[in-house]
């Protein structure tokens, strides 16, 4: 029976961008995003755009938000990013218009292949469609598409696509009922 051998791990194929740009972003992320004492959403949007993010109008970004690579991020108009959200975007993350990512939500684009002895890195894009709500402390896993106006409830884990206008709960998240907006 084979065993995991982390000495053989090699993710040289993965190139997240220019090392100087990543270093500058790392400093900006600490000073302006993960910092609880910097509440200025408009400044954050400007900084993200400088680093290549696509940010719509009316976007709100609360304090203590962690973003891995802004050049792999697109946020639509009037979307809210709550306190403590972590966007670990090793791959592209597209967030639609009028979405809400509640406190402590985690968008996770990377994982490891547990079936391989070398524990290879695997990445997958995340797409959150218009009007979706990602509940507090919930997790969206690599490769997941959250359908239009879908809800991922508090502390739930989306490991598969969520259908539009549907509410999901649990770990792994399962369909609970249809979302009716009045």
Helix (H) or strand (E) holding 50: helix 41-50
Is the Cβ–Cβ distance between 164 and 181 less than 8 Å?
no
Q: What is the mean pLDDT of residues 136-155?
A: 98
- pLDDT value for 48: 98
CA-closest candidate to residue 98, choices 64, 62, 129: 129
Phi, psi of 163, deg, nearest 5: -70, 150
> What whole-number distance in Å separates Cα of residue 106 and Cα of residue 155?
10
Edge-to-edge, what's the strand order for the sheet holding 54-55?
A: 54-55, 73-75, 93-95, 126-128, 145-146
Question: What share of the chain has pLDDT > 70, as a percent?
Answer: 100
The residues, ordered by sequence, that sit 6+ positions from 171 with a Cβ below 8 Å of its Cβ are: 155, 156, 157
Task: Check residues 101 and 11 and name the one with the higher pLDDT.
Answer: 101
| Domains observed in the chain | 17-178 (2.160.10.10)
- pLDDT value for 2: 87
**Model confidence pLDDT, tens digit, residues 18-73:** 999 999 999 999 999 999 999 999 999 999 999 999 999 999 999 999 999 999 99
- pLDDT value for 1: 83
């Amino acid at each position: 029976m084979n065993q995991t051998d982390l000495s053989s791990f090699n993710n040289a194929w993965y190139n997240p961008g220019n090392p100087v740009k990543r270093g500058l972003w790392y400093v900006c992320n600490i000073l302006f995003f993960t910092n609880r004492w910097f509440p200025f959403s408009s400044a954050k949007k400007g900084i993200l755009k400088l680093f290549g993010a696509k940010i719509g109008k009316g976007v709100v970004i609360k304090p203590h938000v962690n973003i891995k690579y802004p050049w792999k991020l697109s946020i639509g108009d009037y979307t809210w990013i709550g306190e403590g959200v972590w966007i670990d975007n090793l791959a592209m993350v597209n967030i639609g218009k009028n979405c809400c990512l509640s406190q402590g939500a985690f968008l996770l684009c990377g994982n490891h292949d547990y079936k391989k002895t070398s524990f290879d890195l695997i990445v997958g894009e995340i797409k959150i469609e218009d009007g979706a709500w990602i509940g507090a402390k919930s997790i969206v896993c690599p490769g997941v598409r959250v359908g239009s106006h879908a809800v991922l409830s508090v502390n739930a884990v989306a490991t598969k696509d969520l259908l539009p206008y549907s509410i999901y709960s649990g770990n792994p998240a399962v369909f609970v009922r249809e979302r009716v907006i009045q």
